[in-house]
A and B are shown apart, each in its own frame.
Chain A
Amino acid sequence: KQEVTQIPAALSVPEGENLVLNCSFTDSAIYNLQWFRQDPGKGLTSLLLIQSSQREQTSGRLNASLDKSSGRSTLYIAASQPGDSATYLCAVSAGNQFYFGTGTSLTVIP
C-alpha cells in the first residue's frame, strides 16, 4: 500500500523567507501528485498538480517538483506572507485511489 509522508509536521518562518515543504511516497507507480492547501474549518484547495511525466509545475510564488524515481516531491514557496499560513497536504494518485500525507502546518510570522 502507498504510504505518503510529509516532513516537517509543523513549520514557523518569518515573513519574506523562502521555504520548502517535503513530501515522500513509497511506490513510484503514480499517475500524478497534487499539492493542496487547507485553511482551518475549510476544505482543500488545489494548488498544483504534477503529472507523472512532468518534473515541475509553477504557479505564482509556488513551485512544485516531482522526482518519481526517488519518491519525492517538494513545494517551494517564495517570499512567504502571513496569508500563506495554512496546512499544506500532498496527495498521490495511483490506480483508483488517492493517498494523502498528514500535512505540514505552516505559520508565517509578520
Chain B
Amino acid sequence: DAGVIQSPRHEVTEMGQEVTLRCKPISGHNSLFWYRQTMMRGLELLIYFNNNVPIDDSGMPEDRFSAKMPNASFSTLKIQPSEPRDSAVYFCASTLRGGVSNQPQHFGDGTRLSIL
C-alpha cells in the first residue's frame, strides 16, 4: 500500500528561481493538504483541497506561492520567485472522505527545500 509520495526529496536552488513541489496522495483519499515546517514556526497549514477544489488557502504566505490539484492523484505547490526565507521542509498529507475535521492525516516524507 503506497503512502503519500512527494518529489523531489531535496531541492537546492538559487534565489529568484521557480520551484515546483509535487505530491501524489493515497489512492481513494479525497482531501489533500500542503504544510511547511521550520524550526522557528513549526508546522503550518498552507492550503487544503477537497475533491480537487481548494477549500482554504489562508495559510499561503504570499502571492509567490500557488497550489493546484488538476486531478485526484496529483498536486503541485509552486513558488515563483523563490526567496531564502522559503527554505523549509514542505509536507503533503491526504485523508479519506472529508476535510480537516474528522479523519487522521497521512503524511509524505516531505521535500527539503533550500534557497540560496
Contacts and interface: CB of A to CB of B under 8 A. Distances in A.
Interface of A: 31-32, 34, 36, 41-46, 49, 51, 89, 91, 93, 95-98, 100-103
B5 to A, nearest CB: 11
Given A96-B56, A96-B100, A97-B100, A46 B45 contact: no
Nearest to A100: B43
Nearest to A41: B109
B104 A46 contact: yes
Interface of B: 4, 33, 42-45, 48, 55-56, 58-59, 91, 93, 99-110
Given A31-B100, A31-B102, A97-B56, A89 B43 contact: yes
A98 B109 contact: no
B107 A96 contact: no
Nearest to B103: A49
Contact of A49 (B48, B59, B104, B108): B104
Would you call the interface of chain A mostly helix, strand, loop, or mixed? strand
A98 B100 contact: yes
Nearest to B40: A102
Contact of A44 (B91, B99, B101, B103): B91
A7 to B, nearest CB: 14
A31 B45 CA distance: 16
A43 B42 contact: no
Contacts of A43: 4, 91, 93, 107-110
Contacts of B99: 96
B103 to A, nearest CB: 8
Contacts of B108: 43
B109 A42 contact: yes
A103 B37 CA distance: 12
A51 B93 CA distance: 19
Contact of A32 (B58, B91, B102): B102
B85 to A, nearest CB: 19
